[in-house]
Amino acid sequence: MLRLLALAAHISMSAGAQPPDWHRYSVLTEAGPEETPPVIFQKVNRLVYNEHKIQRGEYSAWHLAKVYRTTAMSLQTTNNDEMLVLYPGKKVLVHNKDGQLYQVRKASETLDAVVGRWYKDSRQAVRFKEQIVMVNKLPGSAMLEDYEFLKGARLLLPKVKMIFDTYSFPFQDGRPAVSSGYGLRRHPMQKTKKFHEGLDYPKPWGTPVFPSRSGKVVEADWTEGYGMLLVIRHSDGATTRYGHLSRIFVRVGQMVQRGRTLIGRVGSTGLSTGPHLHFEVRDKNGKAHNPRTKIGRR
């Protein structure tokens, strides 16, 4: 067979024919764009989704929602992230519809099982199922039988929203500057190396302080190096600490609301070199975590 092919090629060449242009049959093609252009999300009516890498200047979920023709709540719910802090290089899942873009967790997961996570009432479940079938263009038979999905499949859940019980900045004027980060440092007053278990936010004396997360006040008093310290316990047992306050406006046992209840004012009480808020996040076992990694999350 190989000899016949070689002979045929030789005859073609001898007759003056041009050699085959093998490049026409190459599977190597020029790489396409890494991301689908946002204009596609705006002009196409069907569901479109993609992984988006945050660029400089993309500062919030609300900004991305406008670009991709969806809602901030939809992006927050899809990514299970309040997206209060976006930084260049961070990857988020974006789409162009109102609702949660759900990823099927295991092989043979059924539509009824997905619906059942959100609605137990039969009437509401049927209505929700109809909406899922319609927006995802599933076959009509999905309403009559327990439709199965492949693991990893994406499914839009219309109008599903997540209520976030997450950490936010303890101020109302956006993202504050940090004068001393989390980790090992040389203490500015004791002049020894110590582990700094929180973040220091430099602010003018008297700046209003608000709860980073809703919860119950469990401590509000003078505490050693913290000076005037306020501690709030949250629904999962974690706590946040607010140190060096000049004033405290809440009492032990009081319930406070994230970003709404005025709990105190910035000061420089305790071991402090100037007015700032010392802010900590601790888990239910009392272990300190870097607050930077908790903002917008639980």
**The two structure tokens encoding residue 92:** 């988020």
Domain boundary among 110, 136, 164: 164
Would 20 be classed as within a structural domain?
no
Same domain for 220 and 263? Answer: yes
**Residue type present at position 61:** A
Q: Give the pLDDT of residue 27.
A: 45
- Cα end-to-end distance, the chain, whole Å: 68
Q: pLDDT for 137-156, tens place per residue?
A: 999 999 998 899 999 999 99
Residue showing tokens 């709540």 = 73
Domains: count for the chain: 2
Between CA 26 and CA 32, with CA 30 as vertex, the angle to 5 degrees is 135
Would 174 be classed as within a structural domain?
no
* Least confidently predicted of 66-70, 205-209, 262-266: 66-70
Same domain for 97 and 205? Answer: no
Domain that holds residue 71: 33-164
Confidence band (pLDDT; 50, 70, 90) for 34? low
Q: Percent of the chain having pLDDT more than 70?
A: 87
User: Is pLDDT of 99 > 90?
Assistant: yes
Same domain for 159 and 39? Answer: yes
Mean pLDDT of 145-168: 90
User: Is pLDDT of 200 > 70?
Assistant: yes
Q: Which of 35-49, 81-95, 172-186, 213-227 has the highest mean pLDDT?
A: 213-227
Q: pLDDT for 23-32, tens place per residue?
A: 333 344 444 4
**The two structure tokens encoding residue 85:** 């802090």
Q: Which helix (H) or strand (E) holds 75?
A: helix 72-79
